[in-house]
Chains A and B, each alone.
Chain A
Amino acid sequence: MRRACGVILPMMVLTLSCSTAPSLVLPVETELLIVNTSSRWYVTMGLRPDSAEDESGFDFQSKLIPPGALFRERFINIFPQTGGCPDRFDLRVYLYKRINEDIPIGLDETEEVDPIPVASAELLDILACEVVVASSYTIVLRDSQEGVGILKFAQELIGEQDGTFSGNTLPPLDPIPDLLDNANLSGRVIMDDGVGIEGVGVLLRTRVRRGDDDPACCSINSGGPTDVEDATVCCYGAPIAVETTDMDGQFSFDRPPGAYWLEVFADDLLFRPVAVTVESPIDNIIFIGEVNP
């Protein structure tokens, strides 16, 4: 009997340890979100896991992201070898300016940029999912003076990560990545009986954020400029494009996916609302018009 116990007891212990071993946990399939809130700079970013054995290899390079645009990509597609969001990563960032800066972005057909960056830098060992597990890991490019770049990481939960850089410290990219593809950004202006209104002007602005003293309305998660008086001035830049509604009241902009502010104007008409904040792609923006009594 004592011998039997001697066999059974260790077997029980080992059997339990078999079924209660720590379970495999995979990285959360977080997505990378790059938000360009600068008013002038076009940005592209290259990433590699900081554990990468090949120190030169930035296998992932984003498309060129214009002001106001958002770039989304899943970490599992960026770093298939790590299976998702890495603990830390290295970043190469390049800022460019348009050659035709004297005309609004929306009227510049090619949006060609000067091949020499206005600023570029390599930022190493950036905290990612070692400390942050969110549905989106966000990198925000803020507005800045020429020659300087300001990045904020991961919804600013990582306070110590300095994302400010200046000058050109990297060799130029050749070729420069293609501009981010356009996404649907359209809607209609109608009377409350659903009939479209022709000839209404629609202005498009991009979100601009400058420094830490900008109001909270510029937060990516905010519902728009409702928190502060005259918030449009600080949160949204000068109009980048204008369209006029067609005979069915339809309007459409050819812009990459992004966070935009649209406002409508016409003589003798009032609108509900006068302006909306949206994130494209979106195809059902609606302004309701009524005759100004």
Chain B
Amino acid sequence: MNPRNFFRIMCVTVVGFLSSCTMSPDDLFDPFVDAPLIKTDGSSQNLVAEISRLGMRQAGEILRIEVFSDDVRGVYLLKQDALQESAGVIVGGGPVNETFTYVVRENSELFLFVDALVGSKAKVSIEAGISSDVPPRPTQRISIVLETDFLVNGLIDDSATGEAGDMATADFLSSIQPIVQADLLSRIQQVFDGTGVTIFGPEDTPEEPFSTLTISGRRALAAEDELDSLEVVGCSDVVIFGEVLSDSSRVDAGNQNLSDDAIVYVGSFRGTGNCNAGLIINSTNNIINALALSGAHEIGHLLGLNHTALDGIMSTSPSFAIQRQLQFQRSQIVLDVGRGNEIFTTVIQDPQLYFDAILAPNAE
């Protein structure tokens, strides 16, 4: 090619490129400005970034969304964050590889965010829905299920049973289990007060559908493939304190499933080695706060909340939180992207705002 022609072509290409690729003035890729606009005509489109723009949407508009991928774990709708110009706050979501419906609650620009492993490929299809597609905002009911003797079974080491000290402790724990049960239930109810979530005790029979949180005396060790995303400094056994009992996802994005289940492992608080030993057993309120915090955390996942960077209920670092009563709070989210946990500084989770968006107010 003639060098002069090449230069001309390059100039045309560069000018054309600059006019089509609207980068931020500081040359960083700001997805809330620079991300491609997804068409809502039902066509299948490649997702080229974790965050895509859906444009201005009108209150009452209905979107039918499906994201296809083998390695995307959740799909979220964001709107512009009130505090940070280049951040979005989660207002809904849904599962991957299934069509879900999102109703726009207010006039605002919306964005699509996918929780994906590094290098994931995904396609999306979005089309307008019709009003008959849309059920009213649901009420989420949670039933607390308490396994028999969860306190003694969880906090007394089987291998030491029979020793005088442990027998006395077992008797003491048995005697205070009714107090722990009552306060645990009360504390979880207090956390979800005013959120649209109704917590039912073991004596109640909630109307279907409802989710469950089981307080189990069992102890659970982390699986090998989970160790990278857990804080395991100095632990001989790496335990998990609770989990969502689902094969498909650890977080029910958008709370599409109203009858999913989670569990808290009381035995994991007993600890061995350098981790957790005696962490809660020396104080009744430590026991209650630790179990209530873990229970509220797992219920948070059932509702679609992710882990967060700040030390609220959805934090993954509850080491000293048992000495105080944490709350749900606004924070940037933390996701395991396949090479460990990363803070997504542009994606905000504000639980109260999220609950208001996806749940009907408490009626029960």
Q: In the complex, A279 Cα to B310 Cα: how many Å? A: 17
Q: In the complex, A292 Cα to B188 Cα: how many Å? A: 34
Closest residue to B83 on the A side, CB-wise?
A: A76
Decide if B256 is an interface residue (CB 8 Å cutoff): no
- The answer on a CB contact under 8 Å between A273 and B13 is no
- The answer on a CB contact under 8 Å between A135 and B310 is yes
Stretch from B71-79, B93-101, B143-151, B171-179 forming part of the interface with A = B171-179
Decide if B1 is an interface residue (CB 8 Å cutoff): yes
Residues on B with C-beta less than 8 A from A272 are 172, 284
Decide if B236 is an interface residue (CB 8 Å cutoff): no
Decide if B37 is an interface residue (CB 8 Å cutoff): no
- The answer on a CB contact under 8 Å between B285 and A21 is no
Residues on B with C-beta less than 8 A from A7 are 9, 13
- The answer on a CB contact under 8 Å between B176 and A279 is no
Which residue of B6, B9, B323 has the most chain A CB atoms within 10 A of its CB atom? Answer: B323
Residues on A with C-beta less than 8 A from B325 are 281-284
Decide if B288 is an interface residue (CB 8 Å cutoff): yes
- The answer on a CB contact under 8 Å between B346 and A26 is yes
Tell me how many residues of B have a C-beta within 8 Å of chain A.
Answer: 56
Residues on A with C-beta less than 8 A from B360 are none
Q: Give the interface residue-count category, chain A.
A: 35 or more
Given A31-B310, A83-B84, A284-B187: A277 and B323 within 8 A (CB)?
Answer: yes
- The answer on a CB contact under 8 Å between A221 and B320 is yes
Residue in B13, B17, B285 whose CB lies within 8 Å of A18: B17
Q: Mark B344-358, 1 if CB is under 8 A from A, else 0.
A: 011000000000000
Q: In the complex, A18 Cα to B9 Cα: how many Å? A: 19
- The answer on a CB contact under 8 Å between A21 and B28 is yes
A–B pairs, 27, beta carbons within 8 Å = A2-B1, A3-B1, A3-B5, A6-B1, A6-B5, A7-B13, A15-B17, A18-B21, A22-B27, A22-B29, A23-B31, A24-B31, A25-B28, A26-B86, A26-B346, A28-B345, A29-B331, A192-B179, A194-B182, A273-B283, A276-B285, A279-B324, A281-B325, A282-B325, A286-B284, A286-B285, A286-B288
* B residues neighboring A (CB under 8 Å): 1, 5-6, 9-10, 13-14, 17, 21, 23-24, 27-31, 34, 48-49, 83-84, 86-87, 172, 175-176, 178-179, 182-183, 187, 278-279, 282-286, 288-289, 309-311, 315, 317, 319-320, 323-325, 330-332, 343, 345-346
